[in-house]
Amino acid sequence: MNPQKKFIAAPGGIIPNPGNTADRQTGDWRVERPVIDMERCTHCMICWIYCPDSAIVAKEGRFIEFDLVHCKGCGICAEECPPNCIDMIEELTFQNINGTSGDEQ
């Protein structure tokens, strides 16, 4: 995923480059992380359709991975998954909370 670019605040907090969320860490308040069992995944892409944060990385119609920089852990993917192969696991059980290097905090 994209490394965090340095944030330069424009006067008034105006954002002069709209659509810059791709460059920002927006998933750092996630409490639970989605974990997929790839053996049971049918690549139906229901999770990709439902994910409100576009945090399902897909390639040629197949599930690749979760974008943990932007996933906020809402759990909709796990709820909607037809074969029920996504589990929500508490972030505290992972060493790296952000899905990135973990050094930024």
CB of 10 to other proteins, least distance (A): 7
Cβ neighbors of 31 (< 8 A, separation 6 or more) are 73, 90, 91
Cβ neighbors of 38 (< 8 A, separation 6 or more) are 63, 85
Q: Is 92 in the site for other proteins (CB under 8 A)?
A: no
DSSP label at 38? T
Take residue 84 and report the two structure tokens written for it: 């029920």
Q: Which stretch binds other proteins (CB under 8 A): 6-14, 31-39, 53-61, 82-90?
A: 6-14
Which residue's CB is nearer to other proteins, number 9 or number 92?
9
CB of 12 to other proteins, least distance (A): 4
User: Which positions touch other proteins (CB under 8 A)?
Assistant: 7, 9-16, 18
